[in-house]
Amino acid sequence: MTGFHTQFHQYGKHYGLGLLTRYIAGALRHFHNCSDLALLPTGALQAQLSTAGFRNVQVFGRGVDVARFSPA
């Protein structure tokens, strides 16, 4: 099982190294596709990665259930 929470492949664009974006995205896809399951924080990211060829991606979500873990 892996977790995909940081979009490292987009860092190249930010730092002026856009040519690396495709290579990094491919390496991330290979890494996560080798696992049984990749957990993601949002449905939007799930749709984006599924379109990009990532397999076995599932939303795990973020945060705490405030009703279940209420201070009361």
Span 9-62, pLDDT tens digits = 777 777 877 788 888 889 999 999 999 999 998 899 999 999 999 999 999 977
Provide the pLDDT for residue 15: 82
Query: For the purposes of burial, counting CB atoms within 10 Å of the CB of 48, is it exposed (0-12), middle (13-18) or buried (19 or more)?
Result: middle
Provide the pLDDT for residue 10: 74
Provide the pLDDT for residue 49: 94
And the tokens for 13?
A: 């664009």
Q: Which amino acid is at 67?
A: A
Split at pLDDT 50, 70, 90, the class of 67 is confident
Q: Which residue has the tokens 């892996």?
A: 2
